[in-house]
Amino acid sequence: MRLAVMLAILLLAACPGLAFTEKPSIDWPYPEEMEFPPLEFTSIEPVRHVLGNGLTVYLLADRDLPLLQGTVYIKAGSIYDSPQQTGLAELTARLTRAGGAGARTAAEVDEQLDFFAASVAVNEGTFYAMARFSSLSEYTAEVLDIVADILGAPVFAEDSLEVERNRMLEAIRRQYDDPMEVAVREFFKKIYGGHPAGAYPTVASVNAITRADLVDFHAAYYAPENATMAVSGDFDPEEMIALLEKTLGRWKVKGVEPPEFPPFDRQPERKVYYVERPLTQSVIFIGHPTVTLDNPDYPALGILSEIFGGALFDEIRVRRGLAYAAGGGLTDGYQIPGIFYAYAITRADATGRVLELMLAEMEKARQVEIPTGPANRARDAAVNRAVFRYTSAYEIASRNAADDLLGIEPGFFEEQLERIKVLTPGNLLFYAFDYLRPEEVVIVVVGYAPMFDRGLENFGEVILVEPEQ
């Protein structure tokens, strides 16, 4: 290796003209000044069909590979848990998959899926549960038959219930030991007050759930008229519809009314919620509710949150070196207001300074127009991301099915995109002044106060919190 380097040096020395010839410079423009034509894309629309039992299906064939993918969305998310049974929706979703299905035991379900090189997973989110499946297309009929039994005829075996209960309990205990997890949970609990959106499973609530509770929750929410389905892959749409009628079509109608959850109209007061942990670092969250997804101003707040998060990172981490991580965002605003939030992880003796900077940056966003560069970059990034919103047949069908379940009208996101395209630094300042309220933020700090550089009482009334396990 050293010999090759020496030979290269000697060659250059022997050819001075080759080594030192000055090349003409090229006057490249700055990346920010480069202009490109707008990205154009056309989304393929899936076939929409309603089965005889009321299950709405979105189908989009993709014959490139011999594969099948699909998801069934059910309005059975954690937001439908009662205050006394937080964790019921999650445990029901887990046992729907893990507790046996139809005439099959849990072990038989696993064995058959393994034989078909297929997978089925049932998970729970805030607003819906979803059963996602995939397989080789040659086993489409067999896998759909299993999916139909998992959703329509779960067994909820007692031994499986105890296994999944213990897994949930262990996850809760691990979250309690993670400062970031503790901060996130307490932040949303304090933002939402007693609303189901801010409820989390506890050891006590999960231990209290019985098999009868699972059966009742399943009967109340898991029904074809309360669900939508996306399916894509190597199939003929008409043949697939006929097969779905034979499989998912046997899922029994229950007359389930579309479930509703309490409206959220609470405006929290500015308070500091302090969780004491003997740490050398602090986790800080601040934020407050804004508006729902259907508000015309929601897209602007999403862009504003991206710019604000970037400004926090630059000011607190890059310029001052006070944080290991910093940023911000806006949560989904489906039927309940999106939460405009910011966070930082800093060393304990910089906690007060970092919190002060976070609040100052929020006030600055209300008073000082955002520079053209960051505003344009955030706006253009959002527009460009939209092109990649539908990168596969499965994603297209899945997005349509999820939107249908949530009552989001076709073309809604395209309308939001048009609102984003016309945003300017001037009207972003208007939105910031109108919606950002540093004087009303909920503040959560997880750390060790004796090591803080200043008292938390400087930022509002301090409430000591002991997270519930």
Of the listed ranges 14-28, 31-45, 62-76, the least confidently predicted one is 14-28
Q: Is the pLDDT of residue 32 over 70?
A: no
Higher pLDDT pick, 156 / 264: 156
State the pLDDT confidence band at 16, using cuts at 50, 70 and 90: very low
Q: How far apart are CA 284 and CA 358, in angstroms?
A: 9
Q: Beta partners for 403?
A: none
State residue 26's pLDDT score.
62
Q: Is the pLDDT of residue 25 over 70?
A: no
Task: Tell me what the mean pLDDT of segment 389-399 comes to.
Answer: 89
State the pLDDT confidence band at 264, using cuts at 50, 70 and 90: confident
Name the strand (E) or helix (H) holding 434. helix 425-435
Higher pLDDT pick, 243 / 413: 243
Residues of the chain with CATH 3.30.830.10: 47-250, 271-405+414-464
Q: How far apart are CA 276 and CA 272, in angstroms?
A: 12
State the pLDDT confidence band at 302, using cuts at 50, 70 and 90: very high
**Block residue for tokens 């009868």:** 212
Q: Is the pLDDT of residue 63 over 70?
A: yes
For all residues of the chain together, what is the average pLDDT?
90
Higher pLDDT pick, 27 / 304: 304
Task: Tell me what the mean pLDDT of segment 296-316 comes to.
Answer: 95
Of the listed ranges 17-21, 302-306, 336-340, 387-391, the least confidently predicted one is 17-21
State residue 43's pLDDT score.
66
Residue 461 token pair: 């009334």
Q: Is the pLDDT of residue 1 over 80?
A: no
Provide the 3-class DSSP secondary structure of residue 201.
coil
Q: Is the pLDDT of residue 39 over 80?
A: no
Cα within 13 Å of Cα(231), Cβ side? 30
Q: What pTM did the predictor assign?
A: 0.88
Q: What is the residue type of 412?
A: F
Q: Report which DSSP code applies to 319.
A: I
Q: Beta partners for 288?
A: 340
User: Are 302 and 378 contacting, i.e. CB atoms less than 8 angstroms apart?
Assistant: no
User: Are 179 and 448 contacting, i.e. CB atoms less than 8 angstroms apart?
Assistant: no
Rg of the Cα atoms in the chain: 27
Q: Which CATH architecture has domain 47-250?
A: 2-Layer Sandwich (3.30)
Q: How far apart are CA 266 and CA 92, in angstroms?
A: 30
User: Are 105 and 154 contacting, i.e. CB atoms less than 8 angstroms apart?
Assistant: no
* Count of C-beta atoms within a 10 Å radius of residue 241: 17
Task: Tell me what the mean pLDDT of segment 100-110 comes to.
Answer: 97
State the pLDDT confidence band at 176, using cuts at 50, 70 and 90: confident
Q: What is the pLDDT of residues 319-348, one digit of tens each?
A: 999 999 999 999 999 889 999 999 999 999
Question: In sequence order, what DSSP letters do the residues of 178-191 get, joined into one string?
Answer: -HHHHHHHHHHHHH
Task: Tell me what the mean pLDDT of segment 156-161 comes to.
Answer: 97
Provide the 3-class DSSP secondary structure of residue 409.
coil
State residue 8's pLDDT score.
43
State the pLDDT confidence band at 20, using cuts at 50, 70 and 90: very low
State residue 33's pLDDT score.
61
Q: Which CATH number fits domain 271-405+414-464: 3.40.1160.10, 3.30.830.10, 3.40.1550.10, 3.90.1170.40?
A: 3.30.830.10
Higher pLDDT pick, 340 / 27: 340
State the pLDDT confidence band at 269, using cuts at 50, 70 and 90: confident
Q: Is the pLDDT of residue 354 over 80?
A: yes
